[in-house]
Structure 1
Amino acid sequence: MKQGIHPDYHLVVFEDSATGYKFISGSTATSRETVKWEDGNEYPLIRVEVTSDSHPFYTGKQKFTQADGAVDKFNKKYGLK
């Protein structure tokens, strides 16, 4: 790798803004906000809207629509006559 062209890779705390779930991971993202982690050190804090803690795929709270009902509704509204 060329020296001096890559961003700094460091530990960052990500926080799910919907649930408050926090996890630490390596990232090149930066933030002016910091948070004290469980190990006593301060790390940059990045707030995100969706994580595995709040995403319906991972939580099992998905909404399933009936495909045939949705298709019929679409065809009734926009279908060819």
Structure 2
Amino acid sequence: MKPDIHPKYQKVVFKDTSTGFTFLSGSTMSSNETIEWEDGNNYPLINVEVSSDSHPFYTGRQKFVDAGGRVDRFKKKYNLD
């Protein structure tokens, strides 16, 4: 195996920017930002927009999209009425 071609696997803290939920996990990602975790150690901080705390599949809160408006626009665009 070639040396120094694999990324460094380390513990990092992921923070959901929409809810503020944080969790510690192993990852190959890195960041210039750090945060002090509950164990007193500093870890790289990775900001994410969606996590299990805010994703509709895990929370049960669904966001419904007006599909009818899209269909009407498609039909109008291609004269399918």
With the length of structure 2 as denominator, give the TM-score of the two structures: 0.80
Cα deviation, residue 13, structure 1:
0.2
Residues 63-78 of structure 1: pairs in structure 2 closer than 5 A: 63-64=63-64, 70=68, 73=72, 77-78=76-77
Distance 1:32 1:80, change over 3 A: same
The residue type equivalent to 1:15 in the other structure is K
User: How many percent identity over aligned positions?
Assistant: 61
Please give the root-mean-square deviation of Cα atoms over the aligned residues, in Å.
Answer: 2.1
- 1:12–1:72 distance in 2 versus 1, CA, 3 Å: closer
Alpha-carbon distance between aligned partners in 1 of 2:51 and 2:35, rounded to the nearest angstrom: 18
Aligned length: 79
Q: What 5-or-longer segments of structure 2 have no aligned partner?
A: none
Partner Cα separation in structure 2 for residue 51 and residue 26 of structure 1: 15
1:4 deviation in Å?
1.4
Residue deviations 1:27-53, cap 9 Å, x none? 111111100001110000000000010
Matched, 1:26 2:26: yes
Normalised by the size of structure 1, how large is the TM-score? 0.80
